[in-house]
Every structure is written in structure tokens, then in C-alpha cells.
Structure 1
Amino acid sequence: MNVHVPQSGKRMLSPIQIAILALVAGTNVASAQVAPAAEQAAAADSGKITEVYVTATKRTTSLQKTPVAVTALNAAALDDNHVQTIQDVVNLVPGFSATGQGDHGVITMTMRGIGNDSAKTEYADPEVATFVDGIYSPRPEGATALLFDLEAIEVLRGPQGTLWGRNSTVGAVNMQTVKPEIGSSAGNFELGYGNYARLGARGAVNIPINDTMAMRVAVVHEQHDGYVDYQAPNIPTLAQQHAAADPVIAAWNAAHPGNPIGFQALNPNLYVRNGQKYSAQDQSAARLSFLWNVVPGLKWNIAYEHYMDRGTPSANLLQVARPGQDFWSALIDTAPNVNRDANSVRSRVDYEINKDISLAYIAGYSRFNGSSTYDQDGGANPATSFTTSTTGGGGFQANNTVWSKYKNYSHELEIQSTGKRDVDWLLGLYYANEDNGIRFDIPIMNGTEQGTVSWQGSFIQPKETVDSKAVFGQTTWNASDALHLTLGARYTSDKRTNEGGTNNSFSDSNVPQVPLNPSVNPLAPSSGFTTYQRNDGEFKDHKLTGLARVSYDIDKSNMVFASVSTGYKSGGLQDGGRPYGSESLTNFEVGSKSTFLGGALRVNNAAYYEKFKGFQFSAPVTNPDGSRGLATNNAEGAKVWGLETEIAAKITPIDRVQFTAAYTNATLKKLIGGSNDYQLPVCPIKEIATCLDVTGNDMPHSPKFSAQVMYQHSFALESGTLIPRISAHYETASWLSVFNLGDGDRQKAYTRTDLGLRFDSNSKWYFDAFVRNAEDAKIKTSALNANGPWQAQYLPPRTFGINVGKTF
């Protein structure tokens, strides 16, 4: 996507990084070129909305001339809305939502009522695909996590499998990084401060090398304290502890005479009171990009990016706080930790073969390593003794990623027509490979980690691979200047393997009753663990998907379009090496794009109906024999239909309004689902211990109606421009799971308001003050009641701060 905005690309550096870049850039920084003030003032006074260009069709076209439901957010829009994560993007796009997943610390996406909350490990792929510079990103790290030094974000709604490929069943998000510019020495930096001890720094500098080469260095660091305070434990008296523990001790010793236990007083030091809190941020990234115009018509863009995360996961909070406790607090017995690193290389070579044909070779490689510790129980059941809790079950549960590693690479070759032609065409070849591995431990202890084992398991997948090949093509017949007919198709072949995967549970009651930790090898004979399931297997799948579209330009300012498109997501392997089937989606859509009042008003609409088959529902389950695992079942699918609108208007040259709205109706077809995150009845299906028939239920994260409105006004001052801004998001109630289990499993209707005040000086420095979630609304993104009381993940509370920066 190319978006021409005079203020695009404002990003920042930390003081140390600024110094390093200054040394690298040398005196070139001082010779930065900026647009004349008169030219910028003319742009600001224009009564027209800035024209936006997108690459939704793999060609650079005007947004208003592109017959696709796509939202384009340029760098200025990202800055204005303080966009730092995908969750910040969703309010700006109709029919889009994102869900926080605590134990893995990732964000999963839902679009037009369809998503997969389990798309956070190697077991499940998303329905909404993420791309960086056109390269598929299977893991939400790097630019997809921090959104730094971006030229634009392009959100495409509806199946995008023909041109965009893997796992874009219901949509795709493409992020375009800022590229080096030959002959330019421009740059920018920004420093930020806010509540929860927020500190931010980001920046970028463009460095000319010679007449054919340039480089760009961009860095970012964001940190803030955790939102969740630590509660002090309420330790019962010794008499109360004995009353609770003695019967349990007696029963245990009678059943296990060779491994008796004795009374222990509750140890208050087992509860975390200090250190980094849950829901803290500590993320950094750097990107080094090069552009080389090899010869006329041949250019090469290549970038290396490093990302590191030392923050903490989001906590499971009680939806109704215990008396005397703050809502944003939890009784924690597992300290939070995240340690993740990702390295990525992205490359694109463009070659203009002649004036009619161009060739592009796009390649990417990334490697991710990480570990984390997480308090899954969130203190829902306070201990009544060292081995009992308020519900009588397991009171201590940790979800620990001991290690995880993901490696993927892809190659794509595209050849297409260029220039204005009667027939536009594009052909492509694609290959991608993933090699994933993980060890994930779940120790569950009765009462506290001092107590006896309730259940604990270790899931070890040393090698799980994905091999995907595709050939695709698309052609558009420009029957006249107004009428355009498009046909496209993609054939995909997928192969998945699991080599050496095992599920292991603690089965020896005669060994010490201690929580599983990374120093224990569950595969060792003396560990007390038994392998109850082996996951080796191979799965192959293939699918032909396609697109048929007609668009008509009523005049130069109005166009309409209609399309039928199909999407596909491969099946795969689950625990035990059992296969599950693929998903497919057929989308029928009509839309319009209009510009009125000489370019001051832009209105884009879309209506769609989707037939979704084979919905892959993944969840942690308990098997009838008491063992646990992750199960994936194919629902019949879902029926989804909806309406979307996007309106942008310059009421006057200094007053701007943006409005987006979506109506979504998404209901499940036949599905019997199980999940350990919820208290469910005994299951009639022998493969799962507990489950619920959810046929006809609403799909999760799909409010019937949602809307966003933004208004800003520009005040021209002698020293610069002052712009106050208000943005409000409203949505009706929505379910948080397919089970639709009542108020605890539901986010009620809410309004969230963000406020901003920006000053741009004539001397190229600026400050930007902001308040986010001004109402301090408690907005749930996921929920569970497996521990008894209802708990949930939440969007951040009210935050505020200021950023100060300069462009040069």
C-alpha cells in the first residue's frame, strides 16, 4: 500500500538508540530535507480528503477505485489513534475484533463474525491472515506486535485466498513498513510518558549511501508497569487449616501407605507480592532496511528485523472482585514471565521486464524462540490449607511454556501485466514451510503448590511441520472504461506432519508430590510421568478456491461492485495424531464506493452473506479416562451475513469526521463442543468428558452492531497548528465463547472514548497528549469459569500520557 500523507512516518528512538543512529548517520542527518511550510499549509487547508492508494489487488490503485471491502490506515491515522497493537486497529475497521489470550500472551482476530481463539500455538491457524510487506506472518511478533515505522495498514474483508493466500479465509491484514528513499536524509524521533510508568521511544532515520542505494534504521521501545496488583493472602488460623487438611491427609495416607504426607502450615511466601506485575509491557524492536536500484527497472528491497519481549501476560481477573479487594488485582502464586525473541528477514525484488510486463520475487524468513510462566487459576479459589481450597479441587494451576520455537520461510514469484490494458493479468507461484516445536506444562495441585497433585501434564511437540504449495492467477477484462470483469483462482496443496509428539501425565503417587518444573524430564522413567498419547502423524489436504467479480464505474466519483469468492484453511493433526478437516467459506458480496462534494465526502458500503463449512473448533478438553489434551472438531459451519459502512468527511477545511459501522449476524450450525475453560455437563460423546450442544448459538466476539465516530478540529496558531480530537466506539453485547453461558460469558454493550490533543509547530516538533478509555470501562475479551467463579481477560483500564517528537 502506498499512502501519500505529508506527515507520514513519525516514529521514535530511545536516547541510547538515537545516539547510535546519529553516529551511523554522521553529518547526513543535519542535511535533512523537509517540505516548504507553504506547501504543508496548502495541504492542511485543502477541502478534499487525502487520496489513499492500496495494494489489495496486488496493484497500486486508488482506494475509491478498488472493488474490494478494504480499510486503509495511513501513518497519520495510526499516529492520531495511538495504534500500537492489533487491538488498537480493530475499532477503526468495521466488523473486526481482537481477543487477548493470557497464557500465550498473543492476540487472536475475528472478522465478520468468524475467528479462532485457539490460533495461538502451532496447533491452530487463524482465519484472518497477517502479512508484513506482503509476506505471511504465522506468529504475532515483530512489526505485527509493535506496529512500528509503518507506512500503512490495509485490512481486507472477505476471503482473500486468490491473491493473498494462506489462511486468509475471512480476511487479511497487510502491514507496509516505511521503505528507504534514495537521496533523502530525513528522520524522526519521539519520546513518550504516561501513567503506569509508561515510557516509550521510537525513531527512524533514512541514510543515503550513493545514487543507487539507501538504508533506513528504525527502532522502538515501549514499556509500562502491569495493571494488576498483587493481593495479600488471607491465611486461615492453624486450627482452621487443620480442620480442612486433616481429613484429606488421613484419606491420602490410607490410600498411599508407602508415601504418607504430614500437615504443613500454609506458607505465605508462596504468594507473589513483589516484582513485575501481570499485564506489563516491555518490548523492543529494530529494523534495518536497504534499497538498491541495481539497474534501471530492477530494484531490491531487503530488511532485517529483531524483536524482543520481556513483558508479562495478561491476568485472569475475577469478574466480581472479592470483598475488600481492588478489581485490578489478583491472588497470585505463579510469578509472570515472558521471554521471547524473533528474527525476520524480508526481501522483495521487482524487475520491469518491459513496458508491459513486470516480475516480482518475494521471500521471507523468520525464527522465534520463547518461554513464559502464567498463573492460570488467578487465585479464584483461595487455599483453606496447604492441600485444600475453597472449592475442594485444585487451587494451584500454572500454564508454563517451557520452550517454544517456530521457524518459517516462504517464496513467492509473481508476473503481471503493467500499464493500461484491455486485459490485466497476474500469475504466481507460492511455497511456504513451517517447522514448529513446543513444550507446554500444566501443573495442577490441590490447595497450594505444597499440596498433592490434582493433575499435571507435559505436552511435548519437538517437530511439527507445515508444507504449503500454491499456484494462482487473476485476470480482469476491462470491457469498457466503466465495466470491469475479474476472474481468479488458486490451487493449494498442504502437508502437515507431527514427529515425536507426546502427551505425558503424572501417574505415580509414590513419588514426591511437587509441581512439574523445567528441570524435570517427563520422558524419564523415574520422573513419575507416563506417556499416554503419541501424536505422530501426517495429513495432506488440497483445495481450489476462486473469485468472480464485476465492477462498474457509474461516473468518476461513484462505483459499484459484486463478487463471489471462496476461502480455505487446511485441516491438520490433533492430539493422538488424529486428523481434523479443512474449513471452507463462500462469500457473496455487493458494495459501493462514492465520493461527493468535490472530494470532501467519501462513503463506502458493503453487504455480504457467507456460507461457512467445517468450522474448526479447538479447545483444551478432558478425556473420559481423566487425561487431557487439545481437541479440534469440525462444526457443520455457520451462517453469517452483515452490512458495513465507512464515511469520511471534511465538513470544512479544518473540521474532519470519520464514521464506521457494522451489523453482523453470525450463528453456528451443528456443533457439540467441549472445553476445560468452562463448567459443562457430562458429554454424550465418548471422546470428551464434558461438552455442550451449541447448535444455533451466536458466534463469539460478534456484536450485532458496532460503530466508531471520530471528530477533529484544527486551530491555526501563529506558531503552529493545534488539533483536539475525540473518538468514541460503541458496540452491542457480544458472547465470549460458542457456549453462550450467560452474563459471565458475555460482554455487555459499552461505549469507549479516546481523547487527543496534538500540537504541530512550524519548526517541525510536536506534542500529542492522549487519554484512552476515558470512561475506565471494564471490557472483557475472553472468559472462563473452570475454577468456579467467573474470570475474564480485559482490555486495559484508563491510560493517559504525552508524546513529544520531531521530524527532520
Structure 2
Amino acid sequence: MPEKGNSRGLLEVGRETLVAAAPPQRTTPKGHTVKLRRLFLYTFAPLVLTAGSAWAQEDDTAQESAAAEDLFVEEITVTATKREESLQDVPIAVTAITPLQIERAGMLDIRDLPTLASSFNMNSSQTESQGTTLRIRGVGTTGNNIGLESSVGVFLDGIYLSRPGIALGDQLDVESIEVLRGPQGTLFGRNVSAGALNLRTRRPSLTDQSGFLNLTAGNFNAFNVQAGVGGPLSDRVGYRLSAAVRNQDGFVESVSGAESYTRDRALLRGQLLWSFADRGSLRIIGDYSDADEECCDAVVLLETPAAALGSFAAAGLPAVGGVSVFGPSAFNARRSNAGPFVNPFDQKGLSAELNYNLTDNVSLTWLGSWRDFFASSIQDDFVGIGVYGVSPEAANGFETFDDIESWTQEFRLTGDTERVSWLVGGFASGEDILEHIGLGLLGDFSSFVDAILWNYALAPALPPAQLLGGVPLATGGTFGDVLAADNQALAFSGGIPVGGAFANNVYRQEGDSWSIFTHNTFRLSDRFSLVTGLRYVDETKDGSFRQPAASNPGCFATLLNAQALAEGAAGTPLAPVATTIGNLNAAFNCFPFATPADTGVPILPATFADTFQDDELVYTSQAVYEFSDTVKGYASYTHGFKSGGFNLDSTAAVGGADPRFDSEKIDALELGVKSEFANRRVRLNATLFDYDIEDFQVLEFTGVQFRTFNVPKAQSRGAELELSAVAGQHVTLNLGYTFADSEYPENCAGDLDAASVQSLCGAKLTNAPENVFSFGANWDDTVGDRFLVFASVNGRWEDDRRTSTQPNLAFDIQEANTKANVRVGLGGYSGRWAVELWSNNVTDEQTKNVTFNTPLRVGSRSTFLEAPRTVGATLRLTF
């Protein structure tokens, strides 16, 4: 029988292991640059021959299975406390995902994680790299504003990844994933007020040479390759090199022929490990990845009534106004209306980890990192006519991109005495964000405004407005001339087409953070311990918005005519009608993303340069009691913190508004029990939690602008159960249940009277289902004395959830649904090869992700979709 901890990849049975043991994690990306593909080929092509040779040397006989009474759930080691400890010993709610679970679930990236962790979910909007939100227990930061930071921190090999989009790369050669539920600020630092994802890749070996090769093909023309090789270079130095490419067509297709949600990416990671004998080690990791993908178009769920009323045809546009597919039929067929959405990105990073034993009881850890992430974007207007575009062609040659450069430094000292385990440390980080957004209004814009505004939204106001026909306008003629014009929108802008307007907007944020912290366990008796943690955090950010170029003469003509119309109707019963006509025309023709800033007009964009500074004392206290060798309980109180910052948007400082938003704070109570019973064949962990959140950060898109604000109060209360069981010699089970009542309380607005806040009170948090149930079952057995077979199913059932910040909109509710993944496989007993057939979302449940107001299209709602059913086959080879 292979030794415990090897890389077999299918099944390991014995008296000292779980029924299903852990292979090295392997995922599957596909990239686009020729240089990286060649490097992949030259480095890993020999693995095919090596693995084939290992296959030919397959063990001739299989060893007898262990007796059923000797089976037990696998002991899992986690690093949730910055130390290696058993999952059952840490007084933290942790979902620990093993390599076998990752492999059997077919997990490629963290988008697949909700199937394995009932308390976790995520969603993306129009760009995955810039608009991704992570949530734990229903709490997360919604929005695609790059100034917003996540409530769920992501850590890769101990290094903080500053934005969720940076963490969306494929999970290659991952050894374990930990979902840490609840505030984790005392140990993990900034922006983990809802929890953290702790991902660890496989370390180089100093003893054995090993490698793997995974080949996957599936529907949507999917083809994925992953490979890795590693081993000793000497008795003190080891290496590991892994790479992957992934390619897949999109699952949303536009009537224009464009696809969305494609995959075309590559990843290369190299590691070196130096051992200092019994004194410690130094690990250095470098990685590079790139992607050239098309994402993310949306499906129109609710069409504007203007189309059915003939408003677009009357304005000289196609009768459908650019939306030829919408509603349930478009949703079920995954059909959209726009042109391409292009979202290429690349990133590179370097990190180092030093662990050194200063004495027998005191150790030093240093972690340092540097990372650069660059993502560009071309976005259409979600419809099939030329309303606006985010592209160099539409924005006077100005490219839209995000560039995020960051560094981190962390030092920790840890020690143990007979009664105390102590930790002290310091952390510092810097982040430089540069964002360019170039948006231009296109040739159909004035006709579109004529259709959607004059022929539809303003239609009821126009008959009485005839009485204002004699009012002279600032650009010449009278309001009566506008009412008689074929294109009333163009006439109201003085005959100046608004199509062709553009703005080149530049946003920058430079942030520095530092903290000092301590985390200590006091063993007051053999069964009772007290854990305390403190962290002082200091955050400083300099944020700015400037505008190198912009032009929109039609906007200013509209403003002048709106003022003239209002003055002409002043003191008459038609004054409100005149004001409405002027304001609505200004809202459209002065679209804030394509309008000059700093004009002195209060409603138009204004540049800014300001500083945000905040500090906070984050703390936790935990009481832990060991009822028996297999049952432990704990109670904790934690105060968490997520930094505020800047609304990096052209509308942030309109009318002299403060572009900054406040920090978010959370107070969390938690009661937990961790237990094993039935001779350790069953593990059952249960948690109760209660959150009160202050100044909850929210971003909302109104259809015309993005608004970022703080809601004074939000809350989440609930319970969790996680069960792992060996249900026999060949079957293992994993079950999870989360109840999370995450909402804005009825008094959420406090003293604020803003409608944007008041309207949320009493509503559920966005994409926060109240009940979630995850399930997994694995069956393994031998065939004769040479083969192993397995079958697995993993799935998730979730309750209704609201897919938009705006409450009480029926189209925004994603109804309860179940998604299941199935996988069957056949392999050699030693685990050197395996062939698998699989299907994810096997019942093809079509679900909504984020729902929003279709930009400028009054009365229309659109949604981003989640992945449909995928099927395929995978070949795994190891040596």
C-alpha cells in the first residue's frame, strides 16, 4: 500500500487514513499568449512520457481493504490561527476543503466553492476582474467600484490578495482551502470583517520526485490542461513547477454573434524551498497568469414599455430599439442583444516566507510579497443599437483599464510555554490603484433619447406643455419648435447631436496600512482555555479623480434650454411640468460618464483630490471548554473592521458631495460545538452567530449613475451545521447547512432621511439566501485486483435570494434552486492514472447572478447569468 500522504488521486484505504485520501490539487486553465503556451509545452510535455511509464508499472495486485470498524473521518490540519492545528482544536468556524473534495467536485476556481461551503457564495457583474463580490453568512460588499474593498479577504499561501478579481485565477496545485467564517481581523488583518478564504498550494518536496498531468475536454469546446512536477534539487533544496491552460466558449450568445463568459487563460507558478535542517525554511513563489476573455454581457429580463408603444419606430430606430430578445425565453436560451464585452487581464507576483526557530519554543515568521494586476475592458451598452460604448473607439482613443500594484510585509513571533501559546506581530502594506475609464456616446444616442424620453416617459406631460410653446429657448427658437420637431431630443439640445460626446476619466488611490497585533491562548486548566486577540489598524488613502479630456456641447445647450423653459413657466401652473422636462433631458444628455467636469454646474461631475484616514482597535475574546476528548465548545465575541475609502466615480463629488465613504464595523457573537462520535466515524460541528454591522457599505446603480453610501445598520443572525461521516467501508458523506437571516433592520437608516437608505430598511441583504444546504457523497471500491472505481455527487440547494440592491422588485428574486455535480471514474489501484466522466449543474438550472437597471432604458431590467450545465471527461496521470 502506498504511504500515507502520497499523490494517488483516487482512493487510499487503510487503518490509519480516511476512506478517501487527499491527492494533490489540480485545476485547469487555458491561456492566450504564444510565449506562455510554448513555455508550458517545453516544460511539461515530458510528463506525458513519464506518467505513461508509471502507468505501465501499475501494481499487479491490490492490498486488502481495512475492516469497517477501523475506518474514521480524516483528521484535517488547518492554519486558521496562523499555526498548524487540527480543525477540531481551533475555536473558529472553519469549512476545510480537502484536495480529494476539490478533485471530486471538479473545482477549477473559487466560483465553484459555494458547492462545497454552504456559508459562502459569490457573484460577478459586467467584468469578472473588476466586479466580483464574495460573501460569507450573507455578508459581503456589493458593487463594481474599485474603491470598495471586499468584506471577505482572500489569502494565497499567507499573502493577502487585495481585490476579489485578483483571486479569480484557476486553482492550480492547491493543497487545501479554508473558509473562515466570521470576522478574522486580529490574525488576518485588514478587510476580513465577514471572513476569509485561506488557500494553500502544495509545497516542494525534499524527498520525492513527483508530478501530474490532467487533461480535460467538455462541451462549449472546453479544453483544459494542468501539469506539475517537483522534487529535491539537493538534500536541502526542493522545487515545484506547475502550469495550466484553459479554453472554453461562452455560454451567453448575443444576436450580434458575440459570446460572453468565455475562458482563454494560462498560469505558470514556480517555487523553491530551502531547508535549514531543524532550524527552519525559506519558501519563494513566483507566478504569472494572463487571460483574453469576453465577459460579461447581460440578458434583458424586463423590456421597457416604450418598445410596445412604438416609441423607437417613431424616433427612426428599429422598432425593438435594439432589444430583439428578452424575458423568460431569452433567459432560458441565454440570449443577449449587445456587441462584444472584452475583459483581458494579466497578473504577476512574487512572495517569500521565512520560518526560523530562534529557540526550541520561539519561532520567527516573515512573509513578504509584491503583486501587479492589470485588466482592460471594452463594454457595450447591453442593446443592439449605438447608445454608448466603453472603448477607445468611442472615447477618443482612451483605453479603459485597472492597474493595481501592491506589496505586503508581515512579521510574527510565536512561542509556547506550559500554559500559554503566544503570538505577536506587525503588518504593513501598500497599494497603488490607477483606473482609466473612457466612455463615449454613439450615433443613435439622440434618437434613443427621443424614443425613450420624449415618445414615452414624457408623453403624458406633453399635451399640457403645448401651452408653453411660445417660451423662447436659449439656443434660438421656441419650445413650440421643439414640440413640432421630428427629433424632439435633438431639438431640445439646440440641434447639437449628443452622440459623439465623450469623457476620459482617471481615478487614482494610493493606500498605506500598518498594524500591530497579538493573539494568545491561556490554558487555565486541562479543559478550559481563554483566547484573546488584539490588533491596532491604521489606514490612510489618498484618492483623486481628474479628467484629461472631455467634450459634450449638447449637454450645455440642453442645460441652457432647460433653464429658459423653467424661467418661462415660472409662476404658472405648468412650472412643475417645465422643470420635469428640463431635468430629464439634462439627466440623459449630460450622462455623467461622458460629460466634462469642473464646469461650475452643480449637477455635473467635479474632480477631487482628498485623503481618507481611519484607525481602529480590532479584538476578540474566546472561552473554550473541552467536554471530552472528542467534544469541544467555545463562545466568542469579536469586533471587526473594514476600511472606508473613496467612491472612485465621476459622480462622487457632484454638487460638492464628499467622495469618501466611512469604514464598516462589525460586532459578532458566536457559540460553537465541535464533536466527533461513533468511534470517530462522524464529525459534527455546529455554530450560532449574531452580527450587528455599523455603516454597512453599499453601491447601487440607478441606471444613470453609481452611488456609494453607508447604511447605518445591518445584521446577520443564524446557525450552521457541518457533518462529515464514514458511512461504511466505501462511502463518505459531507453535509452542510446554513441559516442566515441577513437583512437591513426596520430602523436601518438611523437619523438619515436619504431615500436610497430608507428604501432598504426591512429588506434582505443582496444575494443572501436565508437557507442553504450543501451535500456531498463519495463511493469508492475495487474491481478485481487492479482497478479502483468511484462515483461522487456534490450539490447545493439555496433559498430565494434578492439579486439587486434595490428591494421589492419581483424580477430580481432568484427562486430557490438546486444544483448538483456528478462524477464517475475508473483508475489504477495505485492512483497513477484515472479516467473520469462528469457533469456540473447536471439538471441545467438557469439562475440569475446580479440584476440591475438597463442603463438609460427606462423601465427595463437586465441580469447577469450563472453557468449552465457542463459535461466532459478528464484523464489524470501521476508519477
Q: Is the 8 A contact 1:503 1:533 kept in 2?
A: no
Counterpart for residue 434 of structure 1:
431
- Say whether the 8 Å CA contact 2:287–2:349 is kept in structure 1: yes
Matching residue of 1:21: 43
How far off is 1:504 after superposition?
7.2
Provide the C-alpha distance between the structure 2 equivalents of 1:184 and 1:341, rounded to a whole number of angstroms.
Answer: 33
**Alignment CA distance shift 1:90-1:521 (3 Å):** closer
Which runs of structure 2 are paired with 1:260-279 in the superposition (5 Å)? 272-273=256-257, 277-279=259-261
Query: Which residue in 1 is equivalent to 2:139?
Result: 114
Q: Deviations over 1:760-795 (max 9, x none)?
A: 213510012111111211111110133333321111
**1:631 paired residue number:** 707
Report the alpha carbon displacement of residue 507 of structure 1 after superposing the two structures with TM: 2.4
Aligned partner of 2:523 among 454, 459, 478: 478
TM-score, normalisation: structure 1? 0.83
Matched, 1:758 2:825: yes
Query: What letter is aligned with 1:92?
Result: L
Return the index of the structure with the highest Cα Rg.
Answer: 2
Residue 613 of structure 1: aligned partner: 694
Match in the other structure for 1:414: 412
**TM-score of the superposed pair, with normalisation by structure 2:** 0.76
Quick one: which of 517, 537, 559 aligns to 2:610? 537
Identify if the C-alpha distance between structure 1 residues 548 and 716 changes in structure 2 by more than 3 Å, giving closer, same or farther: same
Which of the numbers 192, 206, 218 marks the counterpart of 2:230? 206
CA deviations on 1:380-435 (whole Å, 9 max, x unpaired) are xx65xx8xxxxxxxx445488712211000000000014x6310000010000000
Matches within 5 A, 1:642-791: 642-669=718-745, 670=747, 685=754, 693-718=759-784, 719-762=786-829, 764-786=832-854, 787=857, 788-791=859-862
Task: Measure, in 2, the Cα distance between the counterparts of 1:3 and 1:183.
Answer: 13
**TM-aligned CA distance change 1:569 to 1:457, over 3 Å:** farther
- Please give the alpha-carbon distance, in whole angstroms, between the structure 2 residues aligned to 1:792 and 1:40: 54
Structure 1, unmatched stretches of 5+, are 232-271, 387-394, 623-627, 674-682
1:367 & 1:755 partners in 2: Cα distance? 37
Which digits, 9 at most, give the CA deviation of each residue in 1:611-646, with x for residues without a partner? 110101123458xxxxx6543211112121000000
Question: Is residue 833–residue 877 contact of structure 2 (8 Å, CA) maintained in 1?
Answer: yes
Q: Which residue of 2 aligns with 1:625?
A: none
The aligned residue for residue 314 of structure 1 is 296
Is residue 180–residue 291 contact of structure 1 (8 Å, CA) maintained in 2? yes
Report the counterpart of residue 464 of structure 1 in structure 2: 509
Q: Does structure 2 retain, via aligned residues, the 8 Å contact 1:504–1:522?
A: no
Relative to structure 2, which stretch is displaced further, 425-434 or 702-711? 702-711
Q: Is the 8 A contact 2:218 2:871 kept in 1?
A: yes
Which among 123, 127, 149 is matched to residue 173 of structure 2?
149
Q: What is the deviation of 1:78? A: 0.7
Is 1:555 aligned to 2:628, yes or no? yes
Deviations 1:183-209 (A, max 9, x none): 321010100000000000001100321
Residue 667 of structure 2 corresponds to 586
Distance 1:591 1:640 in 2: 16
Richer in strand (by share): 1
Q: CA deviation at 1:3?
A: 8.7
Distance 1:285 1:693, change over 3 A: same
Aligned length: 726
Q: Is the 8 A contact 2:503 2:596 kept in 1?
A: no
Deviation at 1:350, TM superposition (A): 0.4
| Structure-2 residue corresponding to 1:124 | 148
Residue in structure 2 matched with residue 252 of structure 1 by the alignment:
none
Asked whether the equivalents of residues 300 and 336 of structure 2 are also in contact (C-alpha less than 8 Å), the reply is: no
Q: Is the Cα contact below 8 Å between 2:283 and 2:354 reproduced in 1? A: yes
Deviation at 1:150, TM superposition (A): 0.3
- Of the candidates 597, 601, 618, which is equivalent to residue 682 of structure 2? 601
Contact conserved, 2:531 with 2:622, CA < 8 A, in 1? yes
1:570 matched residue in structure 2: 643
CA distance in 1 between counterparts of 2:758 and 2:441 reads: 24
The residue that corresponds to 2:265 in the other structure is: 283
Query: How far off its partner does 1:672 sit?
Result: 6.8
Letter in 2 for 1:199: F
Letter in 2 for 1:736: T
What is the identity, as a one-letter code, of the residue corresponding to 1:432? S
Task: Tell me the amino acid that sits aligned with residue 667 of structure 2.
Answer: T
Indicate conservation of the 8 Å contact 2:501/2:595, yes or no. Answer: no
- Contact preservation (8 Å) 1:396, 1:449: no
**Cα gap change, 1:449/1:373 in structure 2, threshold over 3 Å: closer, same or farther?**
farther
User: CA 1:508/1:565 → structure 2, altered by over 3 Å: closer, same or farther?
Assistant: same
**Cα displacement string for residues 662-681 of structure 1 (whole angstroms, at most 9, x for unaligned residues):** 111122145679xxxxxxxx
Provide the secondary structure at the position in 2 that maps to 1:509: helix
How do residues 323-334 of structure 1 correspond to structure 2 at under 5 angstroms?
Answer: 327-334=332-339
- How far apart in 2 are the matches of 1:794 and 1:655? 35
Structure 1 residues 41 and 342: CA distance shift in structure 2, 3 A: farther
Q: Distance in 2 between matches of 1:40 and 1:546?
A: 52
1:579-621 Cα distance to aligned partner (Å, 9 max, x none):
2211110100000011111111110000011111010112345
Partners of 1:143 and 1:170 in 2: CA distance: 17
**Residue 382 of structure 2 aligns with which residue?**
378
Q: Matched residue of 1:163: which SS?
A: helix
Contact kept? 1:766, 1:805, Cα under 8 Å: yes
Q: Secondary structure at the match of 1:77?
A: helix
| 1:444-523 mapped onto 2 (5 Å cutoff) | 444-445=441-442, 447=444, 452-453=497-498, 458=503, 460-499=505-544, 501-502=546-547, 506-509=551-554
Kindly indicate whether the alpha-carbon contact (under 8 Å) linking 1:122 and 1:464 is maintained by their aligned counterparts in 2. no
**Percent of paired sites with the same residue:** 21
Greater relative contact order, per chain length (Cα 8 Å cut-off, separation 6+): 2
2:13 is aligned to none
1:436-493 Cα deviation digits (max 9, x unpaired):
0011233344746997437966463353111000000011111122111111100000
Q: Which moved more, 1:444-453 or 1:21-30?
A: 21-30
Aligned equivalent of 1:792: 863
Matches within 5 A, 1:351-390: 351-375=356-380, 377-379=381-383
Name the structure 2 match of 1:49: 73
Conserved in 2, the CA contact under 8 Å of 1:22 and 1:29?
no
8 Å Cα contact 2:153/2:195 also seen in 1: yes
Q: Secondary structure at the match of 2:554?
A: coil
Tell me the amino acid that sits aligned with residue 803 of structure 1: T
1:76 aligns with 2:100: yes
d(CA) in 2 for partners of 1:183, 1:152: 21
Distance 1:430 1:501, change over 3 A: farther
Q: Residues 457 and 503 of structure 1 are in contact (CA less than 8 Å); yes or no, is this contact kept in structure 2?
A: no
Distance 1:207 1:3, change over 3 A: closer
The DSSP-based 3-state class of the residue aligned with 2:359 is: coil
Equivalent pair of 1:646/1:659 in contact (CA under 8 Å): yes
CA contact (8 A) 2:48 2:213 kept: no
Return the alpha-carbon distance in structure 2 between the equivalents of residues 35 and 174 of structure 1.
36
3-state SS, counterpart of residue 79 of structure 1: helix
State the partner residue of 1:804.
Answer: 875
Amino acid at match of 2:253: D
More deviation, 359-368/81-90: 81-90
User: How many Å separate the matches in 1 of 2:118 and 2:435?
Assistant: 35
